Structure 1
């Protein structure tokens, strides 16, 4: 990361406890208003959050009823959007709309954790798993009528890597590792050299992509809308043409990003009024099926207003903020093999019982520590007093699962999450151990007349503040004085990047469904905030953690075994566990809970459930709307 204010590289989740806000950088969201009633944050695909609502993720509510009189149009809600450009979006709100307009080579169907072909008809890989050859689906047209060709993907990928507007260049250059050359950036560093990307149009319908080294999640990365196809030359002949002489985006770019996006998705752009509404309509020449007339999102930031819209039946999907949420109203009728639960919720305030669905998400909320500023015994004392199960049940109203690993259960090595935690977690599984916290502090020389003082910084969230107060009271008995402060989310991230936090709350949503996407956050060399590309704020080194070298060595094993082979996967899995245990030892992250996604909807809406990658990855073309009551 070259810009400490550019949180698109970090994907930290703003942990509001009521949901992920409206954004998800590839990793970071907060209190999201998609209307999916997600108790912990619906993570979704892009990331940074600035809203701060104590709400569940939510797709609900349009104050005006049917948009344009079209009763066949889904009525949802969204938070404040920033762009319609797939390579520039770092927030969940924008990502939801982009998901409907643009298609990529691959796709997470309904936000599930396995991918399928989308614009790719088929693909082949080389024996060394470094070269991928994709054959495109025939008969696909952009919303402007142009036929999709391989040259469009070459152009789109070059934009992702080299556009001055791209916030996701690291996806293709670093995470995926497509071959490319670099050049001096004039400031002592290196930057991408335009036109050197290892992506070639073999013919009009065939693309060849070459990686620096094999990567196990190549297809999963290509499912991101950052890799979506746009027409060749749509915003300039080359990415450099997107900027004018004054260093500002050109008019052509601004139009594409705000009022004239062109993709190949099931919906074409209709309107976007900043802070008010957005709308897409069914694309008549879409290669697949579109079962409704479009989607209208009302932009609603206030969680209570969003709840009221849903209760007034102006939205097809209802948001239930934590302040209104009553777990006793949930009735579960069945559960599938992936842990998704189906049933009803109600009666609600308006007397109606809604359909209910929940699913585990690839999402972890945690308390992080700047290990240079907070001594190890203090970090361990936090871990001893924390009872994750109690916090989930009492503070977050059961809208999550207790977290003992950074890696969420669906992608934990060998499905061994619970057994490893029950047998090996050193600070008390589902219990608070205040006596042990006091003992570790007294052994470090602290006592009633020599209290250790620590600063807790969080985003403005009543649920997280409630948890902080519980911890504060418990830590008092362990000779720790914890001061609580709240800061705007952007300020929290900036201070973290500058190394100016002590204890703080954040979270992470998956970029790709594998443990290494989470555990990269605790690779000690990448946590040094004195470096511009720090991926987290731990400052973990052997100077402040006995297990730092264990984590560093384990990550090196992961990095040397990235191929999509069984032997490489086995080596990675062993290293993943070593990293989790190293984090237990030194307590860089104190994991609190894993998010679940929830959805509450009326009977007139027929919509498929989503999976662990989150509701914002779901396309709505198969949803149908009946007579609203």
Structure 2
């Protein structure tokens, strides 16, 4: 998403389960004549939403991609949510919280009368069960490949407590709980709005062995819990997952909040953008995300409801420095000068996309208006390549990895983006060997192994904090980027613990300049994702961080 990552991620589910998507159906077999959740018989309460890919996991703690999180946001809730239409934290299962001045202690007052879908009470003990679950992960569960967000943000486990951000969780009665940290983490509260840190039923996780994961980093397998028995406190309950076809959720009859109009959600996978548009036009779905740039104007003209999110994304071309050629800063600088971002945006990215100069949007604290940039200059690129020893007779040759059959908020059409960029690189003499993978395999390859070259990826911000961008990308050694830069890692660790916003902002501006001159990759653009809906959708709760719960959708029929 975000990511956001709601970016990315997806995993091979045990038992072969792997689906995810929201497909909205107007077919009689999908949309019925039952009363909606509000009792209004005039509104069709079945909502079909088309997703671009399968989810990787029904357990959000072991997920990192937007399609998994879109489903999990309906089933699960965290202690912290977001203010509607923003990336800022707001109370959810925690009605309030108090943080110590030193940032090492946070006390939450919990909402009363809430139960998980399996009937287990939500209380302070349940909160601590979730925190302690993450902290006690071992092996593959504790790896970047599987427990991505906890690995990135909390940095350590019971097995290496000296590196861990988390220290302990202590209940004080049923409705008060204190979480203590070993080190300051200024983004702790907003980070809890991530679906990965949603509250899950301790009973269901134990019964269905939620942490019983296996396989390898390249091909992990998930538990019975993650493939068919999720239990949260959210407004919708999991009913069925037909792998490769659809996921069905139904309204939670015991939900503590407002029910909304939709009493059944069907998430159907339609990986092709043209097929998603055609499904909407035919009335077989109610809506879809990641509308192709060429389709937006035509759908709007035909009367469909179009909704755009503010750009809170980053699309980038990453340089994996495990590749010897990419360890040369001259090469990385040359590749930066070879990229024409303006042409890329005008040719294949949505209207409203902004050109990127650094690895986070301008709206995030610490964005540097004076950062070093590498404006398109093919002659300069050729000069630097020659200085690095590459000529027409001895060209720089690189593997170029990209995903296929998927759309992401930051990357609506990977094949088109690859084509534009590989052509631009070819114009300065770089030979690219294309390697494509399906999305799940692509993420396993680029995030969990060193076996890739330059590659396309990106991020949808999960919450409004610089650490959610720079810290996630460059906070420590990573298989994706393949470099060791202790100076950068230390600077980011220091900045994430600074409570004073002005002081922290100055540090992050310096870090953005450090990243720009180190050149781990090319920040390309901040695409503005667009959604399209049937005219019966009067409003949709668009969120810059994709925090969109379907109880907030307003329907007219």
- 1:201–1:387 Cα change, 3 Å: same
Distance 1:482 1:242 in 2: 40
- Give the aligned partner of residue 475 of structure 1: 428
Aligned to 1:62: 25
Could you list the per-position Cα deviations for residues 263-318 of structure 1 after superposition, in whole angstroms to 9, with x for gaps in the alignment?
A: 21112223222222222222232221111123222233333332221111222224
Residue pair 1:132, 1:208 contacting (<8 A) in 2 also:
yes
Q: Output aligned runs, 1:201-600, within 5 Å.
A: 201-236=171-206, 243=212, 256-292=225-261, 293-318=263-288, 321-322=291-292, 325-326=294-295, 329=297, 345-347=299-301, 352-371=302-321, 372-374=324-326, 375-398=328-351, 400-413=353-366, 419-420=369-370, 424-425=372-373, 427-428=374-375, 432-460=376-404, 461-476=414-429, 480-489=430-439, 490=441, 493-494=444-445, 498-520=449-471, 523=474, 526-527=476-477, 534=478, 536-539=480-483, 552-553=486-487, 555-563=489-497, 565-566=499-500, 569-600=501-532
Question: Per-residue CA shift, 1:562-615, capped at 9, x if unaligned?
Answer: 34622xx3343233233332333342211111232211223311333422212x
Answer whether contact 1:163 1:240 (CA < 8 A) is retained. no
CA distance in 1: counterparts of 2:214 and 2:445, whole angstroms: 29
For residues 29-59 of structure 1, give each alpha carbon's deviation from its aligned partner in whole angstroms, at most 9, with x where no partner exists: xxxxxxxxxxxxx762663489xxxxxx985
Contact 1:365 1:507 in 2 (8 A): yes
Q: Residue 420 of structure 1: SS of its match in structure 2? A: coil
Query: Aligned match of 2:50 in 77, 84, 88?
Result: 77
CA contact (8 A) 1:59 1:319 kept: no
Report the alpha carbon displacement of residue 434 of structure 1 after superposing the two structures with TM.
Answer: 1.8
Trace 1:60-209 onto structure 2 (pairs within 5 A). 60-62=23-25, 64-65=27-28, 66-70=30-34, 71-78=44-51, 79-110=53-84, 112-162=86-136, 166=141, 169=147, 171-172=149-150, 175-176=153-154, 181-182=158-159, 198-209=168-179
How far residue 100 of structure 1 moved from its aligned partner, in angstroms, is 0.8
Displacement after TM superposition at 1:160 (Å)? 2.8
- What do the CA deviations read for 1:449-471 (whole angstroms, capped 9, x no partner)? 44333333322342123213431
Distance in 2, Cα, partners of 1:465 & 1:170: 26
State the SS of the aligned residue for 2:467.
Answer: helix
Secondary structure of the structure 1 residue equivalent to 2:381 = helix
> TM-score scaled to structure 1, two decimals?
0.72
> Quick one: distance in 1 between partners of 2:75 and 2:358?
36
1: CA distance between counterparts of 2:320 and 2:246? 40
Shift of 1:74: 1.9
CA distance, structure 2, for counterparts of residue 173 and residue 301 of structure 1: 29
* Worse-superposed segment, 449-458 or 198-207: 449-458
Q: CA 1:157/1:285 → structure 2, altered by over 3 Å: closer, same or farther? A: same
Q: Mark the CA change 1:283 to 1:443 in structure 2 (over 3 Å): closer, same or farther.
A: closer
Counterparts of 1:320 and 1:275 in 2: how far apart (Å)? Answer: 19
Q: Please, what is the CA RMSD of the aligned residues?
A: 3.6
Distance verdict in 2 for CA 1:146–1:378, change over 3 Å: closer
Looking at structure 1, the residues matched to 419 and 192 of structure 2 have their Cα atoms a distance apart, in angstroms, of 40
Which residue of 2 is the match for residue 54 of structure 1? Answer: none
Shift of 1:63: 6.0
Q: Secondary structure at the match of 1:269?
A: strand
Q: 2:554 matched to 1:620?
A: no
Shift of 1:95: 2.0
* Pairwise CA distance, 1:513: 2.6
- Cα distance, 1:175 vs structure 2: 1.7
How many Å separate the matches in 1 of 2:507 and 2:331? 27
Instruction: Classify the secondary structure of the residue corresponding to 2:333.
Output: helix
d(CA) in 2 for partners of 1:298, 1:486: 24
**Structure 1 position 47 matched with structure 2 position 12:** no
- Aligned to 1:505, what secondary structure does the other structure show? strand
Q: Which residue of 2 aligns with 1:16?
A: none
Q: 1:610 aligns with which of 542, 547, 551?
A: 542
Q: CA deviation at 1:201?
A: 1.2
Other-structure match for 2:39: none
Q: TM-score, normalised by structure 2?
A: 0.81
Contact 2:77 2:93 in 1 (8 A): yes
| Secondary structure at 2:60 match in 1 | coil
